[in-house]
Amino acid sequence: MSIRTLSVLAMVVVLSACGGGTPGPNQIVVKTGENGSFSGTAGFGWTPEEIRKSVCTGSDGRATAPKEFGIQKTDTHYIVQGRC
């Protein structure tokens, strides 16, 4: 794993400690920030690939691949973070 990947995953762990509750199985909650950054949670009804395809949207409204993407599986849900 690269240092960049480890940094993203470390930030995911820190953000997960901030809470926000456990999403339902088919729920995904993603918040966007500055410079295209995002973080959020998703239930196990989503696959990691479905989450990756759903977090970024281009100016035309179509889904685009994130430039950076980190995902962590907890006992109850996924935690995601990255940059579009």
> Domain spans of the chain?
3-83
Tell me what pLDDT residue 27 has: 94
Q: What is the DSSP string of the chain?
A: --HHHHHHHHHHHHHHTT---PPPTT-EEEEE-GGGEEEEEE-TTS-HHHHHHHS-B-TTS-B---SEEEEEE-SS-EEEEEE-
Tens of pLDDT, residues 5-42: 444 444 444 444 445 678 998 999 999 998 899 999 99
Between 3 and 31, the higher pLDDT residue: 31
The reply to whether the predicted model has a pTM over 0.85 is: no
- Could you give the percent of the chain with pLDDT greater than 90? 54
